[in-house]
Structure 1
Amino acid sequence: MRNRVTELRRRRHISQKELADVVGVTRQTINSIETGRYTASLPLAYKISHYFGLSIEEVFDFSEFD
């Protein structure tokens, strides 16, 4: 699943570790989400989106599920 996590994180000038700490996961989880190797659970996708002040659909691309 494609997403904008890397882009949004870089705009805020925060590291993967900093984002991971805020949403309660490891840096490796954030890295896996950013590279598309891991699909975030709905609660995690919500936490990430909420942190950036965006809806889940603005951060994560669900078009492959249409």
Structure 2
Amino acid sequence: MTKLNYILQGFGFRDFKDLLHSSFGHTFSMLFIKIDVIMLLLFATIHFLFGFNHLFLTAFVI
């Protein structure tokens, strides 16, 4: 683990935990999770009710 920490310090991180927090820290907020669930339900509903992809609906509307 010390070799990994030594390599990560070369990139500006203190340790592996600091790397994980700076890379994926934004995904641990409740706001991000709520927005993600709402978007997932919207896309799944469009696909289930209309039978086509949400990208097709976006292109059709535009």
Answer 1 or 2: which has greater helix percent: 2
Q: Which has the higher contact order (CA 8 A, sep 6+)?
A: 1
**TM-score under structure 2 normalisation?**
0.26
